[in-house]
Amino acid sequence: MPARVGVSTVAGKRVALAVPTTYMNESGLAVRALANRFGVTDPAAVVIVHDELDLPPGTVRLKAGGGLAGHNGLRSIADHLHTNDFLRVRIGVGKPPSAAQGAAHVLKRPPRVVRELLATSVEIAADAVEHITADGIDAAMAWCHSLPT
């Protein structure tokens, strides 16, 4: 299995939580293997938590399907699932000074103030996954998108 996996119960539903052990650009290998292992056929049952350059640090937004915004990890997942219709929990990391610096921007250690914002964002993202599981994407979006930024 190309991921570290834990299984738990959230809101009375069995969920698999996973962190791919592949390179980010090959995340789809892990997602497809997990979907096969757990018999997931509905892409809306797949929730991907990922970094988002188009959002400022400290911002968490939810999305159902849609474009990939040039994110190679999302592209790999869409290629392996044969659809873009999975759910996303997007954690803002901010834009680099230029598009050419995108990879370096997400791989470098952020300044302390940004690390604190990201730590809070990770907690909100975890709560968002619980809300999605318990109440569905629409209710989770209403909750998450109403939080102060």
CB of 7 closer than 8 Å to CB of 15: yes
- pLDDT over 90 (residue 93): yes
First to last CA, the chain: 37
Q: Cβ neighbours of residue 127 under 8 Å, at least 6 residues apart?
A: none
pLDDT confidence tier of residue 108, bands split at 50, 70 and 90: confident
Q: What is the pLDDT of residues 27-72, one digit of tens each?
A: 999 999 999 999 999 999 999 999 999 999 999 999 999 999 889 9
Which domains does the chain show, CATH number per domain? 3-145 (3.40.50.1470)
Q: Cβ neighbours of residue 139 under 8 Å, at least 6 residues apart?
A: 131
